[in-house]
């Protein structure tokens, strides 16, 4: 996806038109929220577009970070519960099937998924210039992918 390139172009154009770094970063963040809201039709607004959700509560980028941290902590808590449920189910499957190694595969899957999430979110955030909200994009990406993982593990 070329979203990162488009966001960089938006930021550069905004700066050429005389916009401040904060204003241009906010514009890029809003564009990101809009772009992420289109392909993912989830039930919760915070899942659809964490940046948009947090920008409704924040006046500045400094105020944006605590909101994103809170959403990420909530998503991580849900993921921990979903992963614990998946591990319990895998252990039970190993118990009744004698040697299916489902427990080990479940733990390996979680480890590999976390690597993917961090790598993908780094890719998305690095498409933006430092100081333009790249850290906010990283956090929002982690929130979205974490919610998706919770759903994949079978929790609503």
Render each residue's pLDDT in the chain as its tens digit; 156 residues. 334 445 555 655 666 677 676 666 665 555 554 444 334 334 334 444 899 999 998 888 888 999 999 999 999 999 999 999 999 999 999 989 887 899 999 999 999 999 999 999 999 988 887 777 888 999 999 999 999 999 999 876
Q: At what angle do helices 134-152 and 21-37 cross, to 10 degrees?
A: 20
CA distances from residue 85 to 91, 107, 150, 156 in whole angstroms, order as listed: 10, 12, 11, 13
Contact predicate 128/6, CB 8 Å = no
Joined tokens for residue 18: 């005389």
CB 136 within 8 A of CB 61: yes
What are the residue ranges of helices labelled H in 38-133?
45-48, 50-55, 61-97, 102-126
Please state the domain extents for the chain.
3-152
Contacts of 74 (CB under 8 A, 6+ apart): none
Return the structure tokens found at 6. 């488009």
Q: What phi and psi, each to the nearest 5 degrees, are found at residue 16?
A: -65, -30
pLDDT score for 147: 94
pLDDT at 107: 95
The pTM for the full model equals: 0.68
Cα atoms in the Cβ-side hemisphere of radius 13 Å centred on 67: 21
Residues 137 and 4: their CA atoms lie apart, in Å, by 10
Q: What is the pLDDT of residue 44?
A: 39
Side-chain half-sphere of 118: how many Cα atoms within 13 Å?
6
């Amino acid at each position: 996806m070329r979203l990162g390139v488009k966001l960089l172009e938006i930021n550069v154009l905004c700066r050429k038109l005389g916009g401040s770094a904060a204003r241009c970063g906010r514009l890029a963040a809003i564009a990101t929220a809009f772009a992420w809201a289109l392909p993912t039709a989830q039930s919760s607004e915070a899942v659809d577009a964490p940046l948009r959700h947090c920008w409704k509560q924040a006046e500045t980028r400094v105020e944006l970070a605590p909101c994103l941290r809170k959403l990420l902590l909530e998503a991580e808590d849900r993921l921990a519960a979903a992963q614990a449920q998946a591990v319990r189910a895998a252990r039970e499957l190993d118990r009744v099937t004698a040697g299916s190694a489902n427990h080990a595969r479940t733990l390996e899957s979680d480890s590999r998924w976390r690597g993917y999430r961090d790598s993908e979110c780094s890719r998305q955030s690095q498409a933006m210039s430092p100081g333009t909200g790249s850290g906010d994009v990283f956090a929002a990406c982690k929130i979205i992918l974490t919610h998706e993982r919770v759903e994949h593990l079978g929790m609503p």
